[in-house]
């Protein structure tokens, strides 16, 4: 099997580390792996397939390939780069990598709504990938887990409207957010006061109905990401979507209460049968045995879990469901690696 030179930008962050782990777990055909981060992380090492790989500092020349006549670079020429370093870094460095012929799969929101950039969930819209479009956007974590469940139902019965409320883990805000929850739980248990630093309010034993900043329409950026990204991925601007996104004191795994209205009636049993056939989706739905998706069960699992599928009795063609997935895996790192796998399957990588 042909192997490829792969880079991970932002390798020492929560998602970056998971990207490295997913490359190994998925047995991605890596010839050479290069890891990039800021000056602060330069020289650190991460393990990949039993070897310690030294983290390089990301610079404008990191992706530069030697010109004809120059001494060949000792650095591996990259075929693909997975980015998880924030929007400003992506805006600066993704085009530099793309200019050198590197496929960039970016986990930030920087490129998602650019009409020239594919926004990809491989199970749904891998046909939007192109040899000529070197920058590829990885969708928002809460969007990915919702659309992998809803897209098959949309194909079957056409979804007219989506109402979603999310309950999102602190890991979605990075390592500092995880530490903040840990420290607040410990402080409260010791009778101490807490001072929020990452979140606008105490997160331990609390729910915060704000993820990202508020916009003029009263929604947060996170909520509008779900609205706009869902329409782009499902290639249907006619779907009416509204979202409320809440941060909850869970370390790992986003949960979503989703209500859909369809053009054609679809029963809960029919929906279960459709979803049971979808790769990467697991139906956990037996209320007689109190079986339904939980973030504690979804954590560190690749699949997206769906349950509590039931008829919305307030309208003619409506369903309610509960969707849970590991936000760091299918919601980020795993989806990015799967996009890379799709590039190989479509013979776009290294060609």
CA atoms of 226 and 224, how far apart (whole Å): 5
C-beta of residue 325 within 8 angstroms of C-beta of residue 254: yes
Encode burial over 161-185: b for 16+ CB neighbours within 10 A, e otherwise: bbbbbbbbbbbbbeeebbebbeebe
For residue 50 the two structure tokens come to: 């039993």
Active site residue 254: yes
How many of the other CB atoms lie within 10 Å of CB of 94?
Answer: 28
Active site residue 154: no
Contacts of 342 (CB under 8 A, 6+ apart): 120, 122, 126, 129
CA atoms of 95 and 100, how far apart (whole Å): 9
Which of 127, 207, 245, 254 does the annotation list as catalytic?
A: 254
200 three-state secondary structure: coil
C-beta of residue 298 within 8 angstroms of C-beta of residue 327: no
Which of 127, 141, 154, 245 does the annotation list as catalytic?
A: 141
Instruction: Compute the C-alpha angle 178/294/281, nearest 5°.
Output: 110
Contacts of 288 (CB under 8 A, 6+ apart): none
Catalytic residues: 141, 254
């Amino acid at each position: 099997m042909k192997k490829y030179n792969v880079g991970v930008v932002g390798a020492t962050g929560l998602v970056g580390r998971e990207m490295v782990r997913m490359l190994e777990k998925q047995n991605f055909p890596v010839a050479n792996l290069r890891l990039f981060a800021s000056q602060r992380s330069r020289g650190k090492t991460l393990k990949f397939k039993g070897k310690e790989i030294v983290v390089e500092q990301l610079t404008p020349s990191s992706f530069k390939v030697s010109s004809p006549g120059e001494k060949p670079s000792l650095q591996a020429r990259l075929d693909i780069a997975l980015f998880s370093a924030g929007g400003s870094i992506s805006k600066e460095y993704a085009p530099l990598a793309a200019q050198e012929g590197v496929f960039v799969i970016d986990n930030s929101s920087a490129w998602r709504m650019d009409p020239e950039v594919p926004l990809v969930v491989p199970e749904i819209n891998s046909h939007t990938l192109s040899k000529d479009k070197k920058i590829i956007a990885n969708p928002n974590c809460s969007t990915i887990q919702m659309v992998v469940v809803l897209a098959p139902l949309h194909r079957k019965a056409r979804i007219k409207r989506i109402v979603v409320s999310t309950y999102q883990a602190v890991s979605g805000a990075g390592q500092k957010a995880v530490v903040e929850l840990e420290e607040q739980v410990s402080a409260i248990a010791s009778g101490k006061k807490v001072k929020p630093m990452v979140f606008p309010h105490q997160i331990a034993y609390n729910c915060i109905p704000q993820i990202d900043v508020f916009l003029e329409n009263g929604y947060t950026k996170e909520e509008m990401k779900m609205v706009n990204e869902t329409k782009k991925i499902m290639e249907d601007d006619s779907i009416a979507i509204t979202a409320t996104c809440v941060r909850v004191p869970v370390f790992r795994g986003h949960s979503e209460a989703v209500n859909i209205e369809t053009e054609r009636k679809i029963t809960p049993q029919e929906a279960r049968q459709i979803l049971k056939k979808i790769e990467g989706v697991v139906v956990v739905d037996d209320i007689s045995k109190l079986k339904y998706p939980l973030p504690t069960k979804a954590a560190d699992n690749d699949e997206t879990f769906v349950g509590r599928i039931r008829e919305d009795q307030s309208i003619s063609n409506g369903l309610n469901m509960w969707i849970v997935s590991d936000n760091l895996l299918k919601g980020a790192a795993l989806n990015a690696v799967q996009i890379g796998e799709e590039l190989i399957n479509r013979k776009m990588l290294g060609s």
